[in-house]
Structure 1
Amino acid sequence: MKKITFILLLICTGLTGMAQSRQEREYQEDAEEIKKEIWNGKDAAFNVTTVPEKYNNESAVIIAMKFSMGADHSRKQEHLSTTMHERVKIQDKSALEEYSEFNIQKLKQNSWSRGYKLVSYMGIRIIKPNGQQRDIDMKEAVNVKDEAGDKEQKIAISDLQVGDIIDYYMRIYKDKSTFYAAPEPLDFSIGERYPILDFALDVRISKKMGISWRYLNAKDAELKRTKDDDDNNVFTINKKDIPKVTDERWLYEKRTLPTLRIAYMRDENNDVVNGIDEEDIKEYLTYKIISVGANYGLNYDIMKREFPKVESTCLKDEDLKTLTDAQRTELIYYYVRYCTLFREYTSSNIEVGQNRKFYTPKSHFVANVMRFMLKEYDIPCVLAAAVPRSEGTLKDAVSFNDLEYFIIAYPADSKPIYCYMGSMFSYPGELPSSLEGQEAYTVAVTGSKREKEASFKKITLPFSKKEDNVSAETLDIVFNPANLQQINIARTISAKGQYRYQYMDMLLYEDMLKQERKRVHTPTLLNADLNAQGPLYKRYGEYTEAFSKARKDMLETVTTNITNDYSIKPTDSITYEIIEEGLQHRYPPFAMKEQFSMDGLVKKAGNNYIVDFGKLITGQIELTTEQRTRSYDINMSYARTVAYQVTVNIPEGYKVEGIENLNKSVINDAGSFVSTTKLEGNTLVVTVRKCYNHAYEPAASWPQMIAFLDAGADFNKQKVLLKKI
């Protein structure tokens, strides 16, 4: 559980074609310098080889952890240097497994995150109980994926044993263009799944850069702010003997653990301030965002010019005489979503795979485009801003980049419509789960300066309910007559509300693009929307090839998802079909079908067969003894319902026994787990319904959650017997 905001990355940009190249030699020279710097360091904490007796029963103990970061800005670029150094005593097989292999994800570049160069280095050292030490040769890392812009490696630590100490570091250099993205926050939450004997944090920000900071959930005296010899700002924290964090599940670290948050500004003043307050946000919403011209929104003029034709075509296609304000608001929303997230405007590398579906726009950018469009049709609206629940509350905000911005429209003929656009799956009228229940500020987008100021107020955003977010599965199970230890599964999944985001990886961008073009009545040609016309006409052929590859790759995604759900890889041919994409709220929710075969859930016992029936509803949460005691409040993504209907066709010549153990019922204020069975001839039907009633529960409600979580875990273990008649 590392709370640092950087990702484990290994050499990505500028180091391809490494064989005996100049880049390779330079990289290896730099790697040697960094290795000497780290291993020859004078920090006594990284020489310790023993742990206190009170921690003898821990899975692992972090002897020392040091995190350091530097930020500078020059020539319109950010220069970031990050180092993570950790020394860990391995004390049982669980920790041994965790540290025996490092998976390193290389940074993937695409047209939306251009403008950076990242180089990273890693070193690993093993110290045996007798004091013998061995450095791991990082050249032994093997490529898991080695494609242009997408490189993954892993390295196995041979001969690592219980009782050993593993000492490793990661150094990342990142030069980043400032044009496409806001400055990256420097956040660190203090606390791990293992106790920490010695913790040190050192962040240095160039004197040329402005800083806004907060130290949350801790004593201010723990944080020291000084200047170094070059007059740069320095933030340091040193703590000893930090207890482990056992409440890892459903924990919002920044709301709970001691957390240093730093936001730096590139082209502004070099003030150092403690966060932003209500007056700062009021000024920002009222003047700095709301007062900008229409050209603030990229391609707004295009949307404004095209939308009358979109509306005209919509009326014709839908056989309508006119649109109500609510209908027009929704059409505006979907057309802005299409133009912002489905269209391609650059001529960079073509991306139509999984990453293409996860593009996210800047929220203040989309909010402004929405308000401009709504203003054109005299639909009243306000601009709203809130902090995501995982980040804290409005009073915890460090910078304006912490805020998410959206529009609330007030059509005359309907209730208010939330217009937040976080992805190509977002709906009008729906908030992202991250903002549910949060306080937000709103301000009018029209009127005089005085009227805008007077409109500024605080509201509380609603939570969605468990009935709004539902994942429902039906499974039809047939035993293979030639081999009763193999079952054939026909599976249908439907998902609505926030749950549909769980299945984004099952959709193909090509199919989504074609469907959305039809549903938003776009007046443009497909090759124009792909930026593949005129001088770029050759790109259309490249898109065709990329679409074909993405379609072939989808089978791997389907297989991986089934394997993850059941912890067993399907054994026979797999088919799947998307019934509904679920991209618009007035259409049916997401739905898909799968068919596959599976071994491993049925075992032969003489003339009979034992069926691992509980595993058919996929994995359930099983709490450890340690996890049954909770100190921190429970913060889940959203209230939700998961439902299953499993139909088992009992093979001829057999009867089923033990189904009474599948009946369970636990219902309380926090949630429920209810399962029932019905046996009709040779057909067994089992229905299961699991509900999480709220997105938030206080720690005091943990025993109630344990009750229905345990019921689910117990069901997951249940077996039934197919007995030979």
Structure 2
Amino acid sequence: MLKYKFLILSGILLGAVYHSHAQSKQEKEYQEEAELVKQEIWGANDPVFARTDIPVNYNNESAVIIAMKVTLGADKTRRQDNIAFTLHERIKIQDKAALENYSEFNLQKLKTTGWSSSVKLTSFMGIRVIKPNGQQRDIDMKDAVNIKDERNDKKQKIAISDLQVGDIIDFYVRTKKEASSFYASPDPLDYSIGEKYPMLNFSLNVTIDKRMGVSWRYLNDQQSELKRSDDKDNYVFSIHKSYVPKVTDERWLYEQRALPTLRLAYNGLKSNEITNGIDEERIQRFLTYEIISVNAAYPTISSIINGFPDLLADYATRTGIRRKDIDKKTIAELAYYYIRYSSLYKETSAGTSIEVGQSRKTYYPREHYTANAFRQLLIRYDIPTELAAAVPRRVGTLQDVVSLDDLNYFIIAYPDDKPMYCFMSNMLSFPNELPTQLEGQQAYSVLVSGSSREKANSFKKITLPMSTAEQNTDAEKMNVTFAADNLQQISIDRVIRATGQYRYNYLDMLLYEDMLNEERNNLHVASSRDQDLMATGSFKKRAKEFDVAFSKARKDMDETVSSNITSEFGTKPTAVTHYKVAEQGLEKQNKPLTIQESFTMDGFVKKAGNNYMLDIGKLITEQISLTAEERKRTYDINMPFPRLASYDIIINIPQGYQLEGAENLNKSVNNETGLFECSTKLEDNKLILSIKKVYKHHQETSADWSKMIAFMDAASDFNKQKVLLKKM
């Protein structure tokens, strides 16, 4: 769904390699192949791409896709997989909104990825504009502007000049991928049929060399819509649809669970079988035997595990508890934090580049790695342990699996009579907290100890728990004052406290340096910071490099804070006078993630004669305002997690003024799906507001959309509320 996913995805569908030597020769070869691709696609004389008329019943649409054709070919030569993906689209622009969407294209033209996988990608693009009078103009891709021009990463954008409402734009993207290593898994195809605009003609054609093999599923549609055929050398999948309606449910939509979707995973060099998905027996075999057997591939696991007893001994010394008396739940939690620190916070290679900025905080460990580390560590302390696998909600269910890579793998420990879910997704992960994508999903689990028969007999299907809105909170307190010499400027002192899944919304507000220091302090590790960063001995010069990088990251945080305030309130602060992360919330037993901010804002107060009007509703940050189209819902609503946002706001009324209109702020809308409520009181020349907004579940049916609209509209209406500061 949505064409832009094909144009801006990096390193999957669009990209190419560009070697540093002989660039002019490489560019020449690239241009020669680009010309061949253009002749192939535009020379095909496909009649559906010659059409220019639009049925009258589509006249009021923002745009109409006249034709969309998606083709994919996959084959292999010797020890190399070759995949070619082509998107060809012809669309008529019918209003200014669509004109803006198609007036500029982004293309990652060249890219090199991963030394170990030896992946080479090459992409080509062609754009053609057809005027209402039939005049045709090809856009010269040599006019594209480089927005990134590095040795292994080249991105471009191109503006379509003189594009007007009523024009037809015809474009294609061809991407070739060559994976020359056994370890390079070909990217899966997950294609969901449905776009932002209606389509008159759609076709999807996939041809896969029989030597590669493929696992496939066709979801949310009649199986007869998918045509399958085998010739001597290839597996062929094809879908053709006419008059495909537009998809307006873009918000909270899981395409693969709602739209007709073809899922394909290539076996590549590993197998030439064709299967309709991955069955339960295959998953059981992988969980029971194969994941555990990959232990030898991770030699650092033993060094992590061997260091844990020292940490446990230090804990016993600090707490005065004999080591043998430390309860198993404490051991399991300490093991979790220790593995998190060892696999995410520490540097693992002195050869890696210095990275301490925003991207560092998005690092995640290999699931097999952490699962094996937990397995071995917990077994040493006689803590019963299971290995589990589940499918993320956005992918679907266990019945929708086409590859073992679809599954997320993690450990379930039983230090007492309750399960402890040990999934590590990033630096903020807690023990006994699942990522949002797994909450409520079905999973398979199997014991990791015992005989082969005992393991096999323990295999079972379970349902993972869901968090509640009360566990995922964003609680804000604001104190608002008016500048004495300029009542049109306000100062806001703000404290944010986030718990549960809401903490991840503020990951960009944390600094890796501070997180590392707290992680080390919490665990009382014996190593130095520079040892953790592999900046000692022959690599000691790295210590100064890290200091410089840390300093830059701290300075860059000023812009992040200002940018986030702008995004939340819809207005850029005139000044940020204070910012502090009072609590990072790295451990579950500690205080919530707590951020303190002070900033000044213009634009919230407007002068009205001798009086002033305050846009008080804007203080709860921008709320969802649904369009007319969004009020109609076809598909179920899939949100990230149940959540509760609360705002306790104090408005300090300036001397010489009285406040009018506060009584209009009190409201309450509460139903099965959520609530919005506001209560107010005047006290000591202050207006005190208590506001709460709750999404009670992570999923609602389309039939309950009207109930969600009720409380979301209440929040949106509050966003528009004003109160009057009347001069006395």
TM-score (norm 2): 0.93
Aligned residue for 1:706? 709
User: Counterparts in 2 of 1:563-602, with a 5 A limit?
Assistant: 563-602=566-605
Indicate whether 1:313 and 2:314 are aligned: yes
1:254 to 249, 253, 256: 256
**Distance in 1 separating the partners of 2:75 and 2:601:** 55
**Distance in 1 separating the partners of 2:381 and 2:146:** 55
**Distance in 1 separating the partners of 2:236 and 2:213:** 13
Indicate whether 1:194 and 2:188 are aligned: no
CA contact (8 A) 2:118 2:184 kept: no
Deviations 1:210-262 (A, max 9, x none): 21100011111211223467x13222211111011122211111111100000
**Distance in 2 separating the partners of 1:595 and 1:180:** 51
**Distance in 2 separating the partners of 1:183 and 1:316:** 51
Aligned residue for 2:398? 394
Indicate whether 1:272 and 2:279 are aligned: no
User: Counterparts in 2 of 1:506-585, with a 5 A limit?
Assistant: 506-585=509-588
Aligned residue for 1:612? 615
Task: Report the AA paired with residue 384 of structure 1.
Answer: A
2:365 to 351, 361, 366: 361
SS in 1 for 2:176: strand
Structure 1 residues 43, 298: CA separation in 2 closer, same or farther (over 3 Å shift)?
A: farther
Aligned residue for 1:669? 672
Sequence identity percentage: 56
Aligned residue for 1:497? 500
CA contact (8 A) 1:62 1:88 kept: yes
**Distance in 1 separating the partners of 2:297 and 2:382:** 20
Task: Report the AA paired with residue 438 of structure 1.
Answer: Q
Indicate whether 1:302 and 2:303 are aligned: yes
**For structure 1, which runs of at least 5 residues remain unmatched after alignment?**
none
Aligned residue for 1:644? 647
Deviations 1:182-233 (A, max 9, x none): 442211011112111111112232332121100011111211223467x132
Structure 1 residues 32, 112: CA separation in 2 closer, same or farther (over 3 Å shift)?
A: closer
**Distance in 2 separating the partners of 1:345 and 1:410:** 30
Aligned residue for 2:694? 691
CA contact (8 A) 2:19 2:152 kept: no
> Which shifted more, 597-606 or 7-16?
7-16
Aligned residue for 1:36? 39
Task: Report the AA paired with residue 639 of structure 2.
Answer: M
Indicate whether 1:216 and 2:239 are aligned: no
Aligned residue for 1:442? 445
Task: Report the AA paired with residue 190 of structure 1.
Answer: I
User: Counterparts in 2 of 1:73-88, with a 5 A limit?
Assistant: 73=76, 78-88=81-91
> Which shifted more, 174-183 or 313-322?
174-183
Aligned residue for 2:291? 289
SS in 1 for 2:470: coil
> How many residues matched?
721
SS in 1 for 2:555: helix
**For structure 2, which runs of at least 5 residues remain unmatched after alignment?**
none
SS in 2 for 1:162: coil
**Distance in 2 separating the partners of 1:102 and 1:266:** 32
CA contact (8 A) 1:294 1:372 kept: no
Deviations 1:476-499 (A, max 9, x none): 222223332222222221111011
2:167 to 123, 147, 164: 164
Aligned residue for 2:379? 375
SS in 2 for 1:423: coil
**Distance in 2 separating the partners of 1:150 and 1:273:** 36
> Which shifted more, 39-48 or 265-274?
39-48
**Distance in 1 separating the partners of 2:279 and 2:26:** 47
Indicate whether 1:242 and 2:244 are aligned: yes
Cα root mean square deviation, aligned? 2.6
Q: Give the C-alpha shift of residue 294 in structure 1.
A: 4.0
CA contact (8 A) 2:182 2:269 kept: no
SS in 2 for 1:332: helix
Structure 1 residues 520, 103: CA separation in 2 closer, same or farther (over 3 Å shift)?
A: farther
**Distance in 2 separating the partners of 1:317 and 1:105:** 54
**Distance in 2 separating the partners of 1:218 and 1:318:** 60
Deviations 1:566-614 (A, max 9, x none): 2222222454211111121111121112222222222222222222221
> Which shifted more, 649-658 or 5-14?
5-14
CA contact (8 A) 1:297 1:366 kept: no
Task: Report the AA paired with residue 123 of structure 2.
Answer: S
Q: Give the C-alpha shift of residue 405 in structure 1.
A: 1.1
Structure 1 residues 533, 12: CA separation in 2 closer, same or farther (over 3 Å shift)?
A: farther
**Distance in 2 separating the partners of 1:98 and 1:564:** 21
**Distance in 1 separating the partners of 2:221 and 2:145:** 42
**Distance in 2 separating the partners of 1:606 and 1:222:** 67
TM-score (norm 1): 0.93
SS in 2 for 1:467: helix
Structure 1 residues 181, 383: CA separation in 2 closer, same or farther (over 3 Å shift)?
A: farther
CA contact (8 A) 1:182 1:401 kept: no
Task: Report the AA paired with residue 580 of structure 1.
Answer: E
Q: Give the C-alpha shift of residue 124 in structure 1.
A: 2.4
Structure 1 residues 368, 142: CA separation in 2 closer, same or farther (over 3 Å shift)?
A: same
Aligned residue for 1:462? 465
Indicate whether 1:426 and 2:432 are aligned: no
Q: Give the C-alpha shift of residue 432 in structure 1.
A: 1.1
**Distance in 2 separating the partners of 1:289 and 1:689:** 45
Indicate whether 1:125 and 2:100 are aligned: no
SS in 2 for 1:336: helix
**Distance in 1 separating the partners of 2:412 and 2:66:** 51
Structure 1 residues 179, 125: CA separation in 2 closer, same or farther (over 3 Å shift)?
A: same
SS in 2 for 1:401: helix
Indicate whether 1:2 and 2:2 are aligned: yes
Deviations 1:281-308 (A, max 9, x none): 2222122224x16424441111122111
SS in 2 for 1:248: coil
Indicate whether 1:623 and 2:623 are aligned: no
1:475 to 474, 478, 483: 478
Task: Report the AA paired with residue 391 of structure 2.
Answer: V
CA contact (8 A) 1:649 1:682 kept: yes
